[in-house]
Chains A and B, each alone.
Chain A
Amino acid sequence: MKRVLEGSHAVAEAVRLANVQVVSAYPITPQTHIVEIISDYCAKGKMNAKFIPVESEHSCLAALVGAQSAGVRTFTATSSQGLALMHEILHWVSAARLPIVMVDVNRALGPGWNIWTDQTDSLSQRDTGWIQLYCEDGQEVLDTTLQAFRLAERVNLPVMVVLDAFFLSHTYEPVDVPEQKEVDRFLPSYSPRFNLDTRNPYTLSPLVTPAFYMEMRHDMALAMDEAMTCFAEIEEEYAALFNRRYGSVEAVTCDDAEIILVTSGTITSTTRLLLEELRAKGEKVGLLKMKMFRPFPVEAVCRALGRAKKVAVIDRNFSFGAGGVFAQEIKAALYKLPVRPTVFGYIAGLGGRDVTTDVLEEIYIKTRETDLPSQESIWIGLQEVKYAN
């Protein structure tokens, strides 16, 4: 049934449909709309789940470590500082091989305090062993959240579903909300591969000496590789039932493109508009939307970008001393090609600054008009600022 939902509500509907049994959460703007609805569903019996109102994000994820280890499906959502506070437990969850699903609403990190969208929170968790999936609109949020449970439980790794603050979390759109019985066909009730059981007692996550530690990490690496193929299979199954698929990346008019803009999150939608305008003017331009960030879809990226002359990566994030995170990853992916496009890295929209079609057009023209990037990262829209004394 089509309903007009906020991105946040699309998450909550997916969590309800996924028959999650334990949710823990700590409030942080702009995640609150997600957990308010879930809390309400738990209270009213619309979800048969226990909601644990923890005293911090750190405890939030630790509580899910306990719950998922005891054999139930779990969920949480957070943002920015909250995700940063969870950092230690992010590592714990993946190495404990717990298929926890979490939504991160991308928000800038302080100081200065800034509640608006910025991907640095989730991207700085890239080495924690979580699968990361970035969403463009409300429908994709709902679909991806449902798929995330299947994917996580298939490879026993946690999944982070990521959406932009406000531009997506607080924006109403028509979203097709599937029926419970259809979802049940796609996502059966949780059956853990291991759990805490007094009838079959054993120890989880004990001390591990150098004799075994490396093999355990290698198993995680293999599971992360497997997630790439599993994601495609799960998407096919989902498409068969609901007729929607997204791909680990989406390439739009890349086949004959000389310049390809690479985006993630809601900037993608804006870029689609610009793409139509530019194509109408005869520009040979393409768009590559990055949905999957971990595992990084190296082959799909090479396939889509390999024939272009130039690639302009738009990063709403920054790794200090290196550059935009997507740009770095894309450069590394393209390295395996014998002939590579020139990669331009652009930094735009940090801290929730709007990235309009004008901004994107400026990026496109800069890329078209220069042979090589002037700097490793080109910051777009910087103003002359006099700071208060």
Chain B
Amino acid sequence: MQIDAYDREYMCSGHVGCAGCGATIAMRLFMKAMGEKTIMVLPACCWSVIAGPYPQSAMKIPVIHTAFETGGATASGVRAALDMKGDTETSVVTWAGDGGTFDIGFQSLSGAVERNEDFIYVCYDNEAYMNTGIQRSSSTPYGAWTTTTPGQDWKRLRKKNIVEVLVAHRIPYVATANIAFPEDLIRKVQKAKSIKGSKFLHIFASCPTGWRIPSDMSVKIARMAVQTNIFPLYEVENGVHYTINNKPKEYLVREYFKLQGRFRHLTDKDLDQIQEMVNEDWGLLLKKAGERS
């Protein structure tokens, strides 16, 4: 890891994110590792607002806002133009939320990485449509309340495993990262930046507003997602070489769930079932990585 990354800032104070917003921490860390030779494509997501309204911007790099479902395609065009201009130095990044990645932008993302476009696609994942007021997405986890999975209709479907879907595209680099693990995140961004072709980073970014947690718990909850194996930190190169970066054995999932208002309705039985699902997913990941628990 390069320590000097901490001295660089490409995001300004005065952004309009909520207090404790994990997506702003994700951006700040990410940009420290990317540096100024970066052009960012921002499809509709929380960051469309966080970046600030015209004529202000919280970003010190060129940013192009674009339609919700176009993250992969718009970046492909920016890359093509830079290539035609002979600019091989500038990195192109798509910075999208989970709705713009797992759902509406999925086709555009799949198309872009199938063409192995040379760019980094970042999904900062806050597990629902938070900008529009906490509606469920295919990233919303099993058990969660949202405004479209209300009351006893809480989500009884698994979160889509977007990382494995991207891995199946056999692109050069796919990794998960988490705002509570800045060294790991920065190392992965630097690695992605050094690889040619399509790179996908899945960054876990807590949302105090949507998860019904106090704003000072944002980083703690994000850390617990890794410690409980709910959101494992790992990398996959060329669709086959798995590396698990963190193998915790400290917490039971119920401790993570009990801190969040969005899971308040779950019974002990539900939580036992979720523990089994997490164990199963973790076991599958270990197998792919050729490791034992």
Write the residues of chain A forming the contact surface with B, with a CB cutoff of 8 angstroms.
Answer: 21-22, 24, 48-50, 52-56, 58-60, 62-72, 74, 88-89, 92, 196-198, 201-209, 212
Contacts and interface: CB of A to CB of B under 8 A. Distances in A.
A196 B54 contact: no
A98 to B, nearest CB: 11
A89 B240 CA distance: 36
A270 to B, nearest CB: 40
Contact of B80 (A62, A67, A212): A67
A207 B77 contact: no
The 3 closest A-B pairs by CB, nearest first: A66-B77, A55-B111, A70-B81
8 contacts: A21-B84, A22-B81, A65-B64, A65-B77, A69-B64, A92-B67, A201-B61, A206-B54
Contact of A63 (B39, B49, B80): B80
B76 to A, nearest CB: 5
Nearest to B65: A205
Contact of B114 (A55, A72, A88, A208): A55
Given A70-B77, A89-B70, A92-B66, A58 B108 contact: yes
A207 B61 contact: no
Give the interface size class of chain B.
Answer: 35 or more
B60 interface: yes
A120 to B, nearest CB: 24
B38 interface: yes
B104 to A, nearest CB: 10
B51 interface: yes
Contacts of B111: 54-56, 59
Nearest to A53: B115
Contacts, number: 159
Q: Pick from A54, A88, A201 the residue with the most CB of B within 10 Å.
A: A201
Q: Pick from B39, B83, B84 the residue with the most CB of A within 10 Å.
A: B84
A63 B73 contact: yes
A72 B81 CA distance: 6
Nearest to B60: A201
Interface of B: 36-39, 41, 48-49, 51-55, 57, 59-67, 69-70, 72-85, 90, 107-108, 110-112, 114-115
Contacts of B74: 62-63, 65-66
Contact of B67 (A24, A67, A89): A89
B53 A207 contact: yes
A161 to B, nearest CB: 20
A89 B108 CA distance: 13
Given A24-B76, A198-B61, 6 more contacts: A67-B80, A70-B81, A197-B62, A198-B36, A206-B48, A207-B53
Contact of B81 (A21, A62, A203): A21
Contacts of A64: 77
B70 A65 contact: yes
A378 B78 CA distance: 48
A7 B152 CA distance: 61
Nearest to A64: B77
A52 B82 CA distance: 13
B147 to A, nearest CB: 22
A97 B178 CA distance: 37
B88 to A, nearest CB: 13
Nearest to A55: B111
Contact of B77 (A67, A204, A206, A212): A67
Contact of B62 (A49, A74, A202): A202
Contact of A66 (B37, B41, B54, B69): B41
B78 A196 contact: yes
B108 A55 contact: yes
Nearest to A51: B80
A196 B66 CA distance: 13
A195 to B, nearest CB: 8
A49 B39 contact: no
B82 A58 contact: no
Given A198-B36, A203-B63, A207-B51, A67 B81 contact: yes
Contacts of B78: 66-67, 69-70, 196
B190 to A, nearest CB: 18
B53 A208 contact: yes
Q: Pick from A72, A74, A197, A203 the residue with the most CB of B within 10 Å.
A: A203
Nearest to B89: A198
B52 A59 contact: no
B73 A58 contact: yes
B77 A22 contact: yes
A385 B74 CA distance: 47
Contact of B70 (A58, A70, A196, A198): A58
A62 B77 contact: yes
Given A22-B81, A55-B114, A212-B54, A66 B107 contact: no
A66 B70 CA distance: 10
Contact of B59 (A21, A54, A203): A203
A94 B63 CA distance: 18
A130 to B, nearest CB: 16
Contacts of B83: 50
Contacts of B90: 198
Contact of A62 (B51, B85, B108): B108
A71 B72 contact: no
A21 B78 CA distance: 12
A297 to B, nearest CB: 31
Contacts of B65: 203-207
A50 B80 contact: yes
A63 B62 CA distance: 17
Q: Pick from A49, A59, A212 the residue with the most CB of B within 10 Å.
A: A59
A209 B53 contact: yes
Contacts of B39: 70, 196, 198
A51 to B, nearest CB: 9
A203 B83 CA distance: 21
